Amino acid sequence: MALKTKVAGFEFDNCIMNASGVLCSDVTSLEKLDQSAAGTFITKTATIEYREGNVKPRYYKYNIGSINSFGLPNMSIDYYLDAVKQFQEKNPNKTYFLSVTEMGEDKIYDILKIVNDSDFEGLVELNLSCPNVEGKPQVAYDFETTERILTEIFKWFKKPLGIKLPPFFDMSHFDQMADIINQFPIAYVNAINSIGNGLIVHDESVAIKPKQGFGGLGGSIIKPTALANVHAWYQRLNPEISIIGTGGISTGQDAFEHILCGASMVQVGTALGHNGPQLFERITQELEAIMTQKGYSEIDDFRGQLQYL
Ligand code: RRO
């Protein structure tokens, strides 16, 4: 129980879980996550209708990371609401995460209305950062649109809502976005989604087919960017807004660093895809060993306590 944590007031036995998109697209995969050492799971980002996603190959793994352009394949919001309801009924004391998005403001409101009217009892994550749908921008890079969307949603949305952000790279962007986020009763911020529109060359070709090879980068190469984003939000956001750290986590040390930078929960993406849900046990043991060695008995003993020189 050393790794127990709270996100937006909800308690979890383990602060480690999957990142949306990885091994969470259907009930069979969600069942494996539910049975694993992870504290909970989040679903694949859902849209109103089923989506096939982009052409294949749309994922490429290499030694230090991954590139993907899945293009939001998913089973539809009705499917995931139904799936999570089954898990909720089986485990009434466990809180699950449901990830959603849509293309266009009106459709974002439509999908959130479906969730608002449902009996879903967990945390809702609005993905404002999918980099892989052709012709559709990553919403959170447009500050005005993000502010307008959040203003509208919080007029009527009644469930706890977190947002998944893309990585930012400029201090003025952190400042501007924090000013927007701090206006709203947002449950949590999840940083970061994949680093959008990278390109990997393999032989003399791009490594994936959609978008002429451009795709979201994940894995250990993105950890420094992820840590910077987690800490930048920790420095700027109202303390009531929890932070979930995602990006480059494959060991207990990686998880430790995310928590030190301010994360209350950490999510594993690329490494989970490569190793399967038994990975949660190893990361859990490694993080607990680091804490024991340092004399920390719970994650709140060091969360956000990053030292400066
Ligand atoms: O499905 C995807 O292509 C995808 C999504 Br929705 C996302 O948010 N992040 C990502 O790297 N891929």
Where in the chain are the domains?
A: 5-301
CATH second-level architecture of 5-301?
Alpha-Beta Barrel (3.20)
Distance (Å) from CA 130 to ligand 1 centroid: 5
- 3-state DSSP assignment of residue 177: helix
Helix, strand, coil share of the chain (percent; to 5): 40, 20, 40
Query: Which H or E run includes 28?
Result: helix 27-35
In the structure encoding, which two tokens stand for residue 89, read together?
């009924």
Distance (Å) from CA 186 to ligand 1 centroid: 22
127 lines ligand 1 (CB under 6 A): yes
Q: Ligand 1, atom 5: nearest CA belongs to which residue?
A: 130
- List C-alpha distances in Å: 129 to 62, 136, 192, 252, 253: 23, 10, 9, 26, 26
How many angstroms separate the CA atoms of 251 and 237, rounded? 27
Residues facing 268 on adjacent strands: 18
Distance (Å) from CA 69 to ligand 1 centroid: 7
DSSP state of 42: B
The pick from 43, 45, 208, 211 for probing ligand 1's pocket by mutation, whose C-beta has the most ligand atoms within 8 angstroms, reads: 45
pLDDT at 104: 96
pLDDT at 1: 65
User: Is the separation of the CB atoms in 34 and 41 below 8 Å?
Assistant: yes
45 lines ligand 1 (CB under 6 A): yes
Q: For residue 59, which phi and psi values (nearest 5 degrees)? A: -145, 140
Residue 266 Cα to chain centre, angstroms: 9
Q: Ligand 1, atom 1: nearest CA belongs to which residue?
A: 72
Query: Which H or E run includes 105?
Result: helix 105-116
Distance (Å) from CA 57 to ligand 1 centroid: 15
User: Is the separation of the CB atoms in 101 and 128 below 8 Å?
Assistant: yes
Residues 6+ apart with CB under 8 A from 187: 7, 8, 123, 160, 161, 162, 241, 242
Are β-strands 214-218 and 195-199 bridged in parallel, bridged antiparallel, or unpaired? antiparallel
User: Is the separation of the CB atoms in 194 and 220 below 8 Å?
Assistant: no
Selected catalytic residue, list 15, 24, 130, 261:
130
Residue 264 Cα to chain centre, angstroms: 13
Q: Nearest CA to 27 among 84, 73, 70, 76?
A: 84
| Ligand 1 atom having least distance to the Cα of 218 | 11
130 is catalytic: yes
pLDDT at 191: 99
Tens of pLDDT, residue by residue, the chain (309 residues): 699 999 999 999 999 999 999 999 999 999 999 999 999 999 999 999 999 999 999 999 987 899 999 999 999 999 999 999 999 999 999 999 999 999 999 999 999 999 999 999 999 999 999 999 999 999 999 999 999 999 999 999 999 999 999 999 999 999 999 999 999 999 999 999 999 999 999 999 999 999 999 999 999 999 999 999 999 999 999 999 999 999 999 999 999 999 999 999 999 999 999 999 999 999 999 999 999 999 999 999 999 999 999
Q: Nearest CA to 202 among 34, 73, 97, 59?
A: 59
